[in-house]
Amino acid sequence: MRTRTLTRGAKLTELGLGAAQLGNLARETSDTDAQGAVDAAWDSGVRYFDTAPHYGLGLSERRLGAALARRPRAEYTVSTKVGRLLVPSPRTAHRQDDGGFAVPATHRRQWDFSRDGILRSLEGSLTRLGLDHVDVVYLHDPDDHWHEASTTGVDTLVELRDQGVVKAVGAGMNQGAMLAEFVRRADVDLVMVAGRHTLLDRSALDELLPLARERGVGVVAAAVYNSGLLAADRPPSDATYDYLPAPRELIARAGALADVCERHGVTLPEAAIAYPLRHPAVVSVVLGARDARQSRTNAERLAARVPDALWAELAALGLVPEVPGAPSTPSVAGEGS
């Protein structure tokens, strides 16, 4: 699997494993399936793994760390996130978490982008992962905390990078506008944009991606299926889009995309993965997996050949515009190996 090297040396495979499902996103995942997801991703060549304290109140980090424990540390890249401290909450331990994960509410999330909060968060992540360092740290969803995240938050991450504690720093969000501000104003190495550089939502193309390319900042594309609508060969009538029931007009547009894909011998999910990598700023696509089968499917979809004629027809029909600077075969800024 191809690897992209960022300016300061962090390496990301073009496919990364997103570990939200390892934290019981929406429903329970067994320890066996979680281990299988990581093992199958590794066997497929994946060497980039992304997690966060938010995912299952730390469960994702614990499971990912356990699954990687026997792997040579120098051979893989781990990213985690800061901005939400996990505070013990014994009074709610008998309840289920209300943050979207099927875990007991033994902790509560507390927003904190202060220097102390970030250092405490990273220390907790290292303990749960069982690692002495992570490679990449993102500010996690600072939508409502711009001032603190863009000052003490990013300054603390840059300090940690300059001290050699981490290799790369940035922010991860479900929007492109604020990420563009981080790229414009801060010394970040990469950003993770979720659901805004996809076949159905190209809003990151307006400002974020051109700016990132200009500044030499890598972009990690996550949620490229828009939480489900682009995950099947034919979009079902009950598909979800950004974690809500998909509007009828979007289901129809996804169906039109699937029609074109079929004419070129490509599935809709294969095109959904290939599309982000066409932009020269994109360094990796991160996909979640709940078990070994899903990890293998992700890798098979990445490996599928998507002909240039598909993109030309999508553009001619006005379904997906051509990506500025897109080559005939996907490549990105930075060194490849």
Per-residue pLDDT of the chain (337 residues; tens, 9 = 90+): 999 999 898 999 999 999 999 999 999 999 999 999 999 999 999 999 999 999 999 999 999 999 999 999 999 999 999 999 999 999 999 999 999 999 999 999 999 999 999 999 999 999 999 999 999 999 999 999 999 999 999 999 999 999 999 999 999 999 999 999 999 999 999 999 999 999 999 999 999 999 999 999 999 999 999 999 999 999 999 999 998 999 999 999 999 999 999 999 999 999 999 999 999 999 999 999 999 999 999 999 999 999 999 999 999 999 999 887 787 644 433 334 3
SS3 311: helix
- pTM score: 0.95
Q: Provide the pLDDT for residue 243.
A: 87
Identified catalytic residue from 48, 55, 225, 241:
55
- Give the pLDDT confidence score for residue 328 in this predicted structure: 62
Is residue 4 within 8 Å of 332, Cβ to Cβ?
A: yes
CA distances from 104 to 67, 101, 120, 165, 289 (A): 22, 9, 22, 32, 22
Residue with tokens 């979207």: 100
Task: Count other Cβ atoms within 10 Å, centred on residue 224.
Answer: 25
> Of 304, 310, 335, which is closest to residue 323 (Cα–Cα)?
310
**pLDDT for position 322:** 85
pLDDT at 64: 98
What is the C-alpha R_g of the chain? 19
4 DSSP 8-state letter? E
What is the pLDDT, as a whole number, of residue 326?
Answer: 80
Q: What angle do CA 288, 332, 46 make, to 5 degrees?
A: 35
Give the pLDDT confidence score for residue 219 in this predicted structure: 98
Q: Give yes or no for a contact between 295 and 46, defined as CB atoms under 8 angstroms apart.
A: yes
Q: Which residues contact 124 (CB under 8 A, 6 or more apart)?
A: 53, 58, 85, 86
> Rounded to 5 degrees, what angle do the CA atoms 192, 12, 99 make?
40
76 in active site:
no
Question: According to the model, what pLDDT value does residue 292 have?
Answer: 98
Distance from C-alpha of 249 to C-alpha of 126, rounded to nearest angstrom? 44
